[in-house]
Amino acid sequence: MNIRNSKLKIMLLSRQSITMQAAVPRVATHTWGEARGAAAMRAVQGVEVEAITYLSDGLRVNGFLLKPPGPGPFPSLIFCRGGSGETGALTNAYLYLYLARYAAWGYAVVASQYRGNRGSEGHEQWGEGDVDDVLNLIPILDEWPAADATRIGIYGWSRGSINALLALARTHRIRAAVVAGTIADIPAHYAAMAAPGAPYSRFLRGGSEPSLDQQHTLSSVNYVDRFPHDAPILIMHGAADQQIAAEQSLILASSLQQCHHPYRLVIFENDDHGIRQHLPEAEAQVKAWLDRFVRDGEQPLGTRVPEKLKVKR
């Protein structure tokens, strides 16, 4: 597909329409059952999906644009994928089972594979270069005619929630955030793993454990006072998460509470890292949050920051 906007061409090196692979409806049926899978496939009809390559810190990084049916411009959503390498990669099935559904809600969606993944140049840099890859999607939204870049939300799951929160600490362009299965305090995560019988997954960065200094640098709980105070955060976690303890979301919520930052915390009883037992309920929470604070521009209650909590920059 030709790049239709000269300014957009500066950031986008390539842009190509892609279609749903034949196996995706079968994956949807296997994942959600026949009725719900068929409904999910009907919901994404008309969503336009494009693979892109864009510049991020001089690297060629791959990602995607997803446009709802209709002329737009639409409120925007930056999606931050989880996992590492092939785990959590934005495959064709993932695009149509998840991201296309967010576009069907009426959002212009943009997402990155991150550097070092799926043909992107460079190597993975959790919490550093990968956050740049997220932030460098904002200029693309600025010039994409389908997107209203004055209304931007961000959504991250697991590792993606780290990138979403660290990005939130570095920009005032985001109106609201959603994070699920997050690691907010990495030293506390390691401490929980060391407990007898703890099943939690190791946090690896570049194939190795981060140093203690890196653990603090990557922990979003240390940046809560930098979050824009008018950007409310929805936090979701499965109470029985065996990969990242639900206490991580409690730590984040406690820090937000201390800073009087607007948030909502939802812990889903007896559920796992993917919140699979309550996924329809979780997605309803996400949609309602984005619609209120991104699409409709509602201002969260109590957005005035107490003088004693203001941080000089």
Instruction: Read off the pLDDT of residues 234-250 as tens digits, 9 standing for 90 and up.
Output: 999 999 999 999 999 99
pLDDT of residue 8: 56
Q: Which of 2-6, 68-72, 228-232, 263-267 has the lowest mean pLDDT?
A: 2-6
The mean per-residue pLDDT over the stretch 64-85 comes to 93
CATH code, 81: 3.40.50.1820
Q: Is residue 311 part of a domain?
A: no
Q: Is residue 304 part of a domain?
A: no
CA distance 18 to 230: 36
Instruction: Read off the pLDDT of residues 13-64 as tens digits, 9 standing for 90 and up.
Output: 899 999 999 999 999 999 889 999 999 899 999 999 999 999 999 999 999 9
* CB proximity list for 79: less than 8 A, separation 6 or greater: 99, 102, 109, 110, 111, 154, 155, 156, 160
Q: Is residue 310 part of a domain?
A: no
Q: Is residue 92 part of a domain?
A: yes
pLDDT of residue 245: 94
Owning domain of residue 149: 6-299
Q: Which of 121-130, 147-156, 201-210 has the lowest mean pLDDT?
A: 201-210
Task: Check pLDDT > 50 for residue 141.
Answer: yes
**pLDDT band of 262, cuts 50, 70, 90:** very high
Look at the chain and report how many structural domains it folds into: 1
Task: Check pLDDT > 70 for residue 109.
Answer: yes
Q: Which of 19-23, 93-97, 193-197 has the lowest mean pLDDT?
A: 193-197
Task: Check pLDDT > 80 for residue 162.
Answer: yes
Which uninterrupted H or E stretch holds 139? Answer: helix 138-143
pLDDT of residue 212: 87
CA distance 96 to 17: 13
What percentage of the chain carries pLDDT values higher than 90?
A: 73
pLDDT of residue 83: 80
**pLDDT band of 302, cuts 50, 70, 90:** low
> Phi and psi dihedrals of 197, rounded to 5?
80, 5
The mean per-residue pLDDT over the stretch 279-306 comes to 87
Phi-psi category of residue 273: left, alpha or beta, with phi > 0 → left and psi -120 to 50 → alpha:
alpha
pLDDT of residue 313: 36
Q: Is residue 102 part of a domain?
A: yes
pLDDT of residue 248: 97
Q: Looking at residue 34, what DSSP letter applies?
A: H
Q: Looking at residue 109, what DSSP letter applies?
A: E
- For the full predicted model, state whether its pTM sits above 0.75: yes
Q: Is residue 104 part of a domain?
A: yes
